[in-house]
Amino acid sequence: MTWIIRILTAAALGTLLAAGWFLAQPAPTRTLEILNPHIELGEVDSGTSYEVTFIFQNDGDSSHLVYNLAPRCTPTCCFEPKQLQPQIIPPRSEFEYILVVKPTHPGPFQLRTHLFFEDSALRQEPVTISGVARDSEQ
């Protein structure tokens, strides 16, 4: 019976040591950020496409990937990425990620989505595009 207690004690001690080692590791540093996550288009024509540019800054020493969004429509607007493939951002550089936005109806619109990219791990950052669409026939 004492051998079972010794085995369980050794296993518990090993688990505690492993947990302590993992907690002592430094958190990965994020070197990629979106400089302008919120874009206000102001007053625009409904039914007209507009290019919106999000700027990524890579302060790291390695390249990173930005993954494309799937084209999509909301009740007030549609959007699609201008780039067709995931984009590589070289070290110590800035990159422009362009979305084409098309308000579909007059009135206020707001598009909230996430851009996905690989930094120290795959992560997502929220971005917002908003404005007021006016009737383009006026």
Question: How is residue 63 written in tokens?
Answer: 């390249």
Q: How far apart are CA 69 and CA 111, in angstroms?
A: 13
Q: How far apart are CA 103 and CA 133, in angstroms?
A: 6
Question: How is residue 19 written in tokens?
Answer: 């947990």
Domains delineated in the chain: 32-134 (2.60.40.10)
Q: How far apart are CA 72 and CA 34, in angstroms?
A: 21
pLDDT digits (tens, 9 = 90+) for 46-95: 999 999 999 999 998 889 888 888 899 989 999 999 988 888 899 999 99
Question: How is residue 40 written in tokens?
Answer: 């206000």
Query: pTM, whole model, 2 decimals?
Result: 0.75
* Cβ neighbours of 16 (radius 10 Å): 10
